[in-house]
Amino acid sequence: MLRFRSTLLVLVGVCVNCLDAFGESRSYEDRLTFRVYSPSVQQHGYHEALLELRTQINKVHDAEFLKELALSNINLGEQGSGLFADNNNVSYTCREHWNRTIAGLLRSEFWAFKMLDASGKIGAGILEGNTKWLGSYDECFRIDQTLPGMPPSNILKRLPTQSPVRVHDVKCNVDPEIDTRAVVAIVILGIFAVLMFVSTVYDLLVIQRQRHATEHSQSEVLSEHIENLGENSPLLNSREKKSVPKQESVAERLLLAFSVYSNGKKILQVNQSSGTLTALNGIRFLSISWVVLGHTFGVMYPVLSNGLAILPDLYQRWSFQAVANAFVAVDSFFALSFNNIHVNFHIRFIRTMRFLQNSISFMWLTPAYMLLMMISICLSRYFGDGPLWPDQGIECFGVSWYLANDMQFFVLSPLMLAPLYFKYRVGMVVCFIWLLGSAITPGVISNVLNLPPSAFGGGGTIQGRTDYLSNYYARPYCRIGPYIVGIIVGSLMYKTDCKVKINKYLNLLLWLVFATLAVVVLYGLRDPINFPEDALNRDVSALYNATHRIVWGACVCWVIFACATGNGGFINTLLSWSPFVPLARLSYCIFLSHFMIISTYFDSQKSLLYMDDLNAIYVFLATLVLSVMVAFVASLSFEAPMMGLEKVIFKRDRRN
């Protein structure tokens, strides 16, 4: 009986690849996929059971067993507890063809053995996390066999499985048809493509030729004057030496906002206007790279064949703590939401109350956000396929929570900036009251819900880990702390005009203090996460959740403040490296697009991945480079044109 049930597990229960819905002339295209996993494999008590299960399965010889097996011996209506898994969502056609596959195996038909070969089977590495047996997805789809009709009396009611292995889900892989929303998205993207093409052609053939002709003509005039009057002629300092290109009309400027040539030059330009905080470029790009690194590991884990083995090893490494705690990378962006221009903008808003014009200055971010969300929701389902591919594509635009938070902070910021403008000291008191509230709120929530200090544990309860993301991580009242720190430091920089002299010994001490605080935030949870006896209690976890984001924001703001006031030393030189300038301009579109790129790659895998250090490095670097490339295209298509349109409509010159 054990032999019989084990073989059924191989033939039926662990069939995780698709079954072609063989119909007359293959006109029916439903494909059935079984995804099987063992929910108990991650519970320590089932390791011995899994080892025994694997031992028994290895004893089964399929060919020998098939000779002895008869369909009459299988009770298709059996409802034994734990032996069968519900299969009510499987269509009649799929169940019929599955029965035909078993019958083909009994008759030793080659196509049926190809189905068996393509089906997922239990293999080595179960105790290391290899609990998803996907089979050969492409081999299954290449099987071509026409099956005659089958009487409905032999429909398989339930899929036989061997406990503790259970069918995770059953789905049909249907070739997706282009639906209405996809057509609308393609039309919108087509309009942008046409505008970009027409604008670029007009820019190159008309505008650039005119500018080149003007510069060439004036260069000849200057050369002639130099020859006649000498190099010391006052004419060299006159207006004639300056190229004055023809001023384009409003219609031309609106069209040129979509020029790939002009926008590409602006994005790739490394020069910046005077007064720009150049260190911000390095911080922006390094922070977004950190976000990509964290998301790469997070999305990679479910498709690993050695996840259970590699994860404990990674968490015990000191070097991996920066990856495990990459959550604070987003707090860097909240702290970066301020700068001299940002503070000046709000002060101008307070003075003039030009609400509409100044709000639009912030809303140039929205078009790129909406268009990339449209691509994710409407078109991503067509980007790939496979046993792990979601039926409806990537419809959850996961990064939107950050933009929602940032917009709310932007709306609330005048409540802090107005007091700073009218009464600076009163404004500082108001800001610190806000900051105190931003620490008390997450602390109370953490204490009440008994949250862990990290999504990976380190204290709290099992339910607390679930509540951590839903009730704490994405909540604006738990994330506003770094933003308030940014406003405080930004107003201080504006007040002092970035002219602050710090004694070299005090400067060194401040660098050591903030570096130590950053290390504590990043690496302080290693032991609580790895060793249950070192887990933080409820109160300490609440204190960590209340303060660590504010502390991290303060560390980031100190780096900016020190670099802006001439106290950054070689760190300012490193962060101000010129290649960071164009990369920082792409950071917004990298943030919007990288998760879609990561999900598309891992969800389209036809087999599980084995991860080690080298593979992880390759995957991360490839993801980062591809994200930069996609972000460049997205910025050319969506972000830069919207900024150009805003500049024309509101007749303002945006600083770099």
Which strands form 18-20's sheet, in the order they lie side by side? 18-20, 31-37, 166-172
146: pLDDT confidence band, cut at 50, 70 and 90? low
341/487: higher pLDDT? 487
179: pLDDT confidence band, cut at 50, 70 and 90? confident
How much is the average pLDDT of 453-482? 88
How much is the average pLDDT of 317-346? 79
Q: Which residues touch 290 (CB under 8 Å, ≥6 apart)?
A: 322, 326, 329, 332
d(CA 287, CA 289): 5
d(CA 19, CA 140): 7
How much is the average pLDDT of 404-413? 89
Check if the beta carbon of residue 598 is closer than 8 Å to that of residue 631.
no
Q: Is residue 78 pLDDT above 50, yes or no?
A: no
Tell me the average pLDDT of the chain. Answer: 76
What share of the chain in percent tops pLDDT 90? Answer: 32
Q: Which residues touch 366 (CB under 8 Å, ≥6 apart)?
A: none
Q: Is residue 491 pLDDT above 60, yes or no?
A: yes
Q: What pLDDT shows up at residue 176?
A: 72
With residue 288 as reference, give the H or E element that holds it.
helix 279-300
| pLDDT digit string, tens, across residues 329-342 | 999 999 987 654 45
Q: What pLDDT shows up at residue 285?
A: 96
Sole residue written with tokens 């610190």 = 432
How much is the average pLDDT of 84-92? 53
Q: What pLDDT shows up at residue 184?
A: 94
30: pLDDT confidence band, cut at 50, 70 and 90? very low
69: pLDDT confidence band, cut at 50, 70 and 90? very low
Q: What pLDDT shows up at residue 520?
A: 94
Distance set, CA 308 to CA 14, 41, 315, 505 (Å) = 20, 9, 12, 48
482/68: higher pLDDT? 482
576/272: higher pLDDT? 576
What share of the chain in percent tops pLDDT 70? Answer: 66
340/94: higher pLDDT? 94
| pLDDT digit string, tens, across residues 208-261 | 777 766 665 555 555 555 455 454 544 444 444 444 556 777 888 888 889 999
Q: Which residues touch 411 (CB under 8 Å, ≥6 apart)?
A: none
Domain ranges of the chain: 2-172, 180-256, 279-650
- The pTM for the full model equals 0.76
Q: What pLDDT shows up at residue 217?
A: 58
Q: Is residue 516 pLDDT above 90, yes or no?
A: yes
Neighbours of 344 (CB within 10 A): 13
How much is the average pLDDT of 150-164? 40
Q: Is residue 6 pLDDT above 90, yes or no?
A: no
Q: What pLDDT shows up at residue 459?
A: 85
Lowest mean pLDDT among 125-134, 201-210, 336-345, 526-535: 336-345
How much is the average pLDDT of 422-429? 90
How much is the average pLDDT of 118-136? 70
Q: Is residue 167 pLDDT above 70, yes or no?
A: no
Which segments within 516-572 are labelled E, that is strand?
none
10: pLDDT confidence band, cut at 50, 70 and 90? very low
Q: Is residue 95 pLDDT above 50, yes or no?
A: yes
Q: Is residue 496 pLDDT above 90, yes or no?
A: no
202/91: higher pLDDT? 202
Lowest mean pLDDT among 54-63, 295-304, 408-417: 54-63
Q: Which residues touch 256 (CB under 8 Å, ≥6 apart)?
A: 199, 202, 203, 207, 248, 262, 644
How much is the average pLDDT of 268-289? 87
d(CA 367, CA 40): 46
Nearest to 373 by CA among 342, 397, 351: 397
Q: What pLDDT shows up at residue 560?
A: 93
DSSP secondary structure letter of residue 90: S
Q: What pLDDT shows up at residue 558?
A: 95
Which segments within 8-106 are labelled E, that is strand?
18-20, 31-37, 84-85
Angle 477-480-481 from CA coordinates, rounded to 5°: 115
Lowest mean pLDDT among 174-183, 198-207, 349-358: 349-358
| pLDDT digit string, tens, across residues 349-394 | 555 445 455 555 566 678 888 999 999 888 888 888 888 887 665 5
Neighbours of 542 (CB within 10 A): 24
Tokens standing for residue 76? 């298709």
